[in-house]
Structure 1
Amino acid sequence: MSLPRERRVSQRIGAIAESATLKVDARAKALKAEGRPVIGFGAGEPDFPTPSYIVDAAVAAARDPKNHRYTPAGGLPELKSAIVAKTLRDSGYEITPSQVLVTNGGKQAVYESFATLLDPGDEVLLPAPYWTTYPECIQLAGGVAVEVFADETQEYKVTPEQLEEALTERTKVLLFVSPSNPTGSVYTADEIRAIGAWAVEKGLWVVTDEIYEHLLYDGVDTGSIATLCPELAPYTIILNGVAKTYAMTGWRVGWMVGPADLVKAATNLQSHATSNVANVSQRAAIAALEGDLTAVDEMKVAFDRRRRTIVSMLSEIDGVVCPTPQGAFYVFPSVKGLLERTGIATSAELAEHILEKAEVAVVPGEAFGAPGYLRLSYALGDDDLAEGITRLQKLFS
């Protein structure tokens, strides 16, 4: 018996949604190429160049023949050692190289973590609003994402009580993200301890994404869940990378840190999927992690300035409620009042309206499990930011 040729794409892959943030960014760039003065708030990408000392290290690496060959699938030993040292420096968390897997950007670390942890039907508690990639990776790994929503009145942060309500006998993993994409919310140290204690009590694994760890504002007291809840550390996977901290989104270097047996299994998977991350990028990442944080601090000053500007300007629009984020480089305003005032039905339709009428690209909350909201990245130049929000003010005046 033969299968019909019309069944071209597997159900598993066909069910994956396109990245909404990349889709918005691509459309904005396409409209710019047509000559339209579109300002894009879609992509979570610093507008700064990668620091020169990192680029210099990559140039030198490209000229060295040893980087022209295959290297260990799990990462260069030198980079693993740099990640070990960086983790102790920044999080106070002591690990060994056997607990590190270097991946092709943070997204591969997300997928491989869930692919290694989940069996079909296992449930993952997914706080919402969430980054668009998380539910797709969970589904692709055979898991079931169980959304737990926290709105702006909770500063977009879930509580142990909410997590308890969503818990079932199939729950295996809690995904924990702080600072958050898309909201910029940051859990305090006490809030993290409470959630960590709850996860320990329930016998759950925790996958924690810490890629925005250095982008914190207002002196917020926070930390890594593996450090604040040491009894949870043996059941924690940490996701991280150089993309956001060092303006290296295009270099594609991320990593996962976890128990050695789990990391070994994920490394086996990667050995068949992609082999090693590009050696030149790995050498650049070593330079980034072994350097000081001066360039990072300079970028953070600019992000902080833009954060205050965008919150202030958005808050002047009738019907928009914009909490002040304490981390990352996103704002996540509620536009439910604006929808009611304009008669536009959904935030997805509102984003389309904004793009067509104001030539400003934003991402609708539907992409993050949060209809009635918009996500705007303030990782763009000061002038473009002011001009873009001014256009929104005029459109909805």
Structure 2
Amino acid sequence: DLEPYLKDASLLALCSPQNPTGTTFRKEELAAICEMVVAENGRRGDGEKKLYVMYDQMYWHLTYNGIQHYDPVSLNPEMRPYTIYIDAISKCFAATGVRVGWSIGPAHVLNKMKAILSHVGAWAPMPEQKGLTKFLGQKEAINSYLTHFKAEIEERLRRIYEGFINLKNEGFSVDAVAPEAAIYLTIKIDLVGKQTADGQRLATQADVTSYLLQNASLAVVPFYAFGASKDSPWYRLSVGTCKKEEIDEMLQKLRTALGQLK
């Protein structure tokens, strides 16, 4: 499906682990994409602009249940001249207020990125940048932190996923995709056409979203906010601010709200 669009492209933006789905590229999938990019660049003449891949791997430390993260250059060394990696501290280290990121890629591309940044009026403060460089050298501390952090995130994702599967088995119109990475769970809540206890019909997916917030105290982001169709019943559920002791209560509120629909 991707190959026909590469002929006229100059940049292919890929993200893995993925936001909003909380899933990852399989090795075979990413390897196939890399082969297409290499082939396309081989087809282009010396004077033609090459096809580059911007690879966003912000969540690459946060994979679960044996899932392995893969990247283009490791899978295919011929991707080295065409791959631009994007990473940052904000996700894997729960440091969203520390807006420090970095990029790795071909020198001529990075030099142009630096030139653009020299004309940007705001960026990460120098003390944060210098502090981060020292922090990243503390491998033992980082490994200890990530081991704990990953376990905590995975427990939250797994418990909520299992809760949704239990609701599905009880006959409710919900579903979920097993969590693989990041801090997100892909859930399905298919309630369009249902009627509320006070007689209101949930006519659109936006009505469903509002109902979940008002009656289950559940704030989730519909996939149509990320480009899916307006009638998509799929949502992104983030555990970024989730407390473990509140998960059972959240699932019970959702069960009650679902049970009130006709």
TM-score range, shorter chain: 0.7 to 0.9
Name stretches of at least 5 consecutive residues in structure 1 with no aligned partner.
1-161
For the 8 Å contact 1:246–1:288, the answer to whether it is kept is no
1:168 to partner: Cα distance? 5.9
1:195 alignment partner in structure 2: 33
- 2:243 alignment partner AA: G
Alpha-carbon spacing, 1:290–1:369, altered in 2? closer, same or farther (3 Å): same
Q: Distance in 1 between matches of 2:247 and 2:114?
A: 41
Q: Distance in 1 between matches of 2:122 and 2:208?
A: 43
Equivalent of residue 388 in structure 1, options 241, 246, 250: 250
Q: Distance in 1 between matches of 2:101 and 2:213?
A: 32
CA RMSD of aligned residues (A): 1.9
Q: Distance in 2 between matches of 1:392 and 1:176?
A: 34
Q: Distance in 1 between matches of 2:35 and 2:161?
A: 34
Q: Deviations over 1:338-364 (max 9, x none)?
A: 335555333333222211222221111
For the 8 Å contact 2:17–2:69, the answer to whether it is kept is no
1:250 alignment partner in structure 2: 97
1:106 alignment partner in structure 2: none
1:378 alignment partner in structure 2: 239
For the 8 Å contact 1:237–1:256, the answer to whether it is kept is yes
**Greater helix content:** 1
- 1:164 alignment partner AA: E
Shift >4 Å, 4+ stretches: 340-343
Q: Does 1:338 align with 2:167?
A: no
Q: Does 1:164 align with 2:3?
A: yes
For the 8 Å contact 1:355–1:361, the answer to whether it is kept is yes
2:44 alignment partner in structure 1: none
Q: Does 1:232 align with 2:86?
A: no
**What are the residue-to-residue correspondences of 1:18-167 with 2, within 5 Å?**
162-165=1-4, 167=5
- 2:224 alignment partner AA: E
1:260 to partner: Cα distance? 0.9
- 1:348 alignment partner AA: A
Q: Distance in 2 between matches of 1:359 and 1:307?
A: 18
Q: Distance in 1 between matches of 2:86 and 2:97?
A: 18
**What are the residue-to-residue correspondences of 1:257-336 with 2, within 5 Å?**
257-274=104-121, 277-292=124-139, 293-315=143-165, 316-317=167-168, 318-335=172-189
Alpha-carbon spacing, 1:250–1:309, altered in 2? closer, same or farther (3 Å): same
1:169 to partner: Cα distance? 4.2
TM-score (norm 2): 0.82
State the identity %. Answer: 30
Q: Distance in 1 between matches of 2:9 and 2:164?
A: 39
Equivalent of residue 220 in structure 1, options 64, 67, 84: 67
2:16 alignment partner in structure 1: 178
**What are the residue-to-residue correspondences of 1:5-24 with 2, within 5 Å?**
none
Q: Distance in 2 between matches of 1:346 and 1:182?
A: 21
- 1:171 alignment partner AA: A
1:351 alignment partner in structure 2: 209
Q: Distance in 2 between matches of 1:291 and 1:348?
A: 46
Q: Deviations over 1:123-174 (max 9, x none)?
A: xxxxxxxxxxxxxxxxxxxxxxxxxxxxxxxxxxxxxxx2124x16432222
Q: Distance in 1 between matches of 2:210 and 2:21?
A: 21
Higher relative contact order (CA 8 A, sep 6+): 1
Q: Distance in 2 between matches of 1:176 and 1:277?
A: 24
Q: Distance in 2 between matches of 1:264 and 1:391?
A: 53
For the 8 Å contact 2:60–2:69, the answer to whether it is kept is no
